Structure formats: structure tokens, C-alpha cells
């Protein structure tokens, strides 16, 4: 074997060793599955938050973005290690049934009612209940997510507060995430309830504007929970707890507060308030 051939062989072996070592390192890197809402995903928050968490801990997180109801069902089946959702009543029920270890508040933003700029139902203002009554009375178009998400649960709560079983001929359920629901509303000139984070990151607004905001009832709290390993032994509870500990820590809370679009903050950390 010539010296050149020997060097080439060594280089090849080194490349194989490095590739193998990299594959082993990747295989050994801790990772968890998080079931979360479409609002946290579509607002762009996780693209900002999760790299900061990985840099701090080395842990990868695979996000399954669903409506809150579906995310909770995913946790009940043991198909996720941690949940990041926004329907406090449903979250507390999840914990009381033994499926979650403990629910912790993480952050909040608010819901807003968006609709066409000419506002045919005359909803503009601060009162979400009055606005929905006007939508129903004028038979205006309204796109509901209809997917048992946290946003859908809030919307149904507001309709109930408005005392309306009949939501008007224009009411349609899409059974879809927040982004697709907003796309339907923008293309048809309909009203829709959305979380502000997704709205700020939504590009296809066309004629839609925020028409109702500032009502205290529009407050939107998010919580985080580790799925209970007593229900599903395969759940990576120890690794999932590291995410929970980080996201409620000063570093995680600062990362949440630091996420902005066009200088506007999308979520407000409140784990320790």
C-alpha cells in the first residue's frame, strides 16, 4: 500500500467514524413529544421558544399542533409527553382525572373578533357578547373553528353568554385550525374569533380588521402539564418536566416575552403571578 493510498484509507475510516459517531449522538439525544395548540404553532412562538430551550438543555421537542381538545385526548392516550394548551377548565379536568401530573400557568394573550372593514353587523367595540348578538341578528357570516380547540371552547362560551342557541344563517363550522379558519373568513368576508397571536402572524388578511377587543372576557390563559406516567409508563416524564421547569423559569418566561412581530408582543409570561 502506498503512502497516498494509506492516507486515503485513513481519511475514509475517519469519515465513517465521524458519521457513525454523529448518528449515535443523534440517537442518544433526548427528545419528547409535545401536543399543543395550533395558536402557539401558527403564531410562530415555538419557532422562537424551542430553539432557546434546546440551546439551554440539549433536548429536542417534536410538536403535534392540534386543537386543545384533541391535544388533551392525545395526552389521555399517552401519545405525548407534555401538553401546552389553553382551556383551563378542560386542563383542570384532565389533571383531576389523573392524566396530568400538575397544571401550571405559563402565559396569556387575548382573543379578538375580526371581520370585514365595513362591519355589516355593526359589531365594533369592546363587548364580545353584544357583538355576537348582532352577528346572529343580521345573519352575518361567521366562521367557527368547530374543532373542540381552546378558541372554539371560548367562542361557544361567548355564544352561551349571549343567550343564543341560533347563531344565525351565516354561522359555519370548518372543523379546522385557526389559520385555515381565518383564510376562509378573509376570502368570504365573514367574522371570526381568533387569538391575537395567530392574528398578528396571519398574512392573508385581505379586508379583515380587528373589530372587538379589550373585553375582560377575552382573556386567554395558557397552561402546561406533564402527562402522568402512572397512566402510561412509556411517557418521558423526567425529560418533559425539564421543559416545564424551563418554560416557567426566568429564562423561559423572558423568552416568551421576547417574542414580537412588528414590535408588538404576542404573549405575556405569567407563570409566577
DSSP string, 180-244: HHHHHHHHHT-BEEEEHHHHHH----TTEEEEE---GGGEEEEEEEEEPTTT-TTS-HHHHHHHH
Q: For residue 256, what are the CA distances in angstroms to 33, 50, 251, 268?
A: 20, 10, 9, 7
Backbone phi, then psi, for 241, in 5-degree steps? -65, -30
Binning pLDDT at 50, 70 and 90, where does residue 165 land?
A: confident
pLDDT of 5 above 60: no
pTM recorded for the entire structure? 0.84
pLDDT of 23 above 80: no
pLDDT at 173: 97
Report helix angle 45-57 to 237-247, nearest 10: 110
Report yes or no: 266 and 45 within 8 Å, Cβ to Cβ. Answer: yes
Tell me the per-residue pLDDT of 106-153, one tens digit each, with 9 for 90 and over: 999 999 999 999 999 999 999 999 999 999 999 999 999 999 999 999
Mean pLDDT of 175-200: 95
Report helix angle 45-57 to 250-257, nearest 10: 150
- Calpha distance 60→242 (Å, rounded): 11
Backbone phi, then psi, for 249, in 5-degree steps? -80, 165
Residue 99 C-alpha from the chain's centroid? 20
The 10 Å Cβ neighbour count of residue 7 is 11
- Return the percentage of the chain with pLDDT > 90, whole number: 84
pLDDT at 2: 52
Coil, strand or helix: which one is 163? coil
Q: Which residues contact 96 (CB under 8 A, 6 or more apart)?
A: none
pLDDT of 8 above 60: no
pLDDT at 35: 97
pLDDT at 25: 43
pLDDT at 7: 42
- Calpha distance 10→122 (Å, rounded): 76
Coil, strand or helix: which one is 113? strand
Mean pLDDT of 224-229: 98
- Calpha distance 212→224 (Å, rounded): 28
pLDDT of 13 above 50: no
103 sits in which H/E element: strand 100-116
pLDDT of 89 above 80: yes
Q: Poorest-confidence range of 18-22, 181-185, 268-272?
A: 18-22
Closest CA to 231 of 69, 117, 72, 68: 72
pLDDT of 169 above 50: yes
Say which residue, 206 or 10, is predicted with more confidence.
Answer: 206
pLDDT at 16: 46
Amino acid at each position: 500500500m502506498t503512502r497516498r493510498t494509506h492516507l486515503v484509507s485513513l481519511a475514509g475510516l475517519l469519515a465513517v467514524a465521524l458519521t457513525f459517531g454523529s448518528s449515535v449522538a443523534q440517537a442518544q439525544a433526548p427528545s419528547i413529544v409535545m401536543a399543543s395548540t395550533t395558536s402557539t404553532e401558527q403564531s410562530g412562538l415555538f419557532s422562537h421558544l424551542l430553539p432557546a430551550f434546546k440551546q439551554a438543555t440539549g433536548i429536542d421537542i417534536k410538536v403535534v399542533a392540534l386543537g386543545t381538545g384533541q391535544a388533551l385526548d392525545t395526552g389521555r392516550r399517552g401519545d405525548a409527553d407534555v401538553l401546552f394548551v389553553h382551556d383551563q377548565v378542560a386542563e383542570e379536568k384532565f389533571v383531576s382525572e389523573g392524566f396530568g401530573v400538575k397544571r401550571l400557568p405559563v402565559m396569556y394573550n387575548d382573543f379578538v373578533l375580526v371581520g370585514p372593514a365595513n362591519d355589516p353587523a355593526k359589531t365594533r367595540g369592546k363587548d364580545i357578547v353584544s357583538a355576537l348578538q348582532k352577528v346572529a341578528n343580521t345573519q352575518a357570516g361567521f366562521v367557527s373553528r368547530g374543532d373542540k380547540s381552546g378558541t372554539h371552547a371560548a367562542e361557544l362560551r361567548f355564544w352561551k353568554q349571549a343567550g343564543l342557541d341560533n347563531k344565525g344563517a351565516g354561522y359555519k363550522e370548518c372543523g379546522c385550525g385557526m389559520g385555515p379558519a381565518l383564510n376562509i373568513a378573509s376570502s368570504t368576508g365573514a367574522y371570526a374569533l381568533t387569538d391575537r397571536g395567530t392574528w398578528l402572524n396571519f398574512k392573508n388578511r385581505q379586508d379583515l380588521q380587528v373589530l372587538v377587543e379589550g373585553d375582560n372576557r377575552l382573556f386567554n390563559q395558557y397552561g402546561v402539564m406533564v402527562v402522568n406516567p402512572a397512566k402510561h409508563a412509556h411517557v418521558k416524564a423526567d425529560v418533559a418536566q425539564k421543559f416545564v421547569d424551563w418554560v416557567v423559569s426566568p429564562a423561559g418566561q423572558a423568552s416568551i416575552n421576547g417574542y414580537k412581530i412588528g414590535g408588538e408582543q404576542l404573549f405575556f409570561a405569567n407563570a409566577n403571578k
